[in-house]
Amino acid sequence: MRRAALSLAGGLAGGLAAVLPGAIFAQEVQECDWQASAQNIPEPWGDHSRSFAEGAVRLAVLDTIEPGGAPLRLLVLSPPHDEIGARQCKVVGLGGAGFAGMAFDRLEADYDPALGLTFVLPVQLHDAAAGGFSWTELSVTVNQATGTITPSFEN
């Protein structure tokens, strides 16, 4: 069974831990490649994909299975469109890998005309130094006018 809304440490029971991911981890936005394959969207797709802005922006969970401690990434399809009308395709991950857990069912969205669409969802980070996992909130802002996608951690 895929783990898109689950965690490797057993759920949200531990709560959202306060961590300093900026000093340890680097969120990143990459061009779509093998990770963005449709086979990596967990079933049922309706639970792991949502559209916003009248369908112009779509987010989906990607579960690449490996690396085992951080297989989950966030797919972002959004404007601007290229010369043949396709949306840009980006993958939000963490330090060359993904996240250990992702609570996509708790995804929240907000729109600010000056910034764009901002999405916030709990993600679980593998912390090798501490020998475990911790939860934090990932914020991803999508500016449809410029195409800029900016990830950050809320905690």
Whether 62 and 92 have beta carbons less than 8 Å apart is answered as: no
Q: What is the pLDDT of residue 128?
A: 77
- Please give the average per-residue pLDDT across 116-144, as a whole number: 93
Output the pLDDT for position 106.
98
For the chain, which residues make up each domain, given as ranges? 12-153
Q: Residue 69 has what pLDDT?
A: 86
- Give which of 25, 16, 48 is closest to 137, Cα–Cα: 16
pTM listed for this prediction: 0.83
- pLDDT grade, residue 58 (50/70/90)? very high
Q: Give a three-class secondary structure readout of 32-86.
A: CCHHHCHHHCCCCHHHCEEEECCCCEEEEEEECCCCCCCCEEEEEEEEEECCCCC
Q: How high does pLDDT run on average in the chain?
A: 85
3-state secondary structure at position 6? coil
33: number of Cβ within 10 Å: 9
- Say whether pLDDT at 63 is over 60: yes
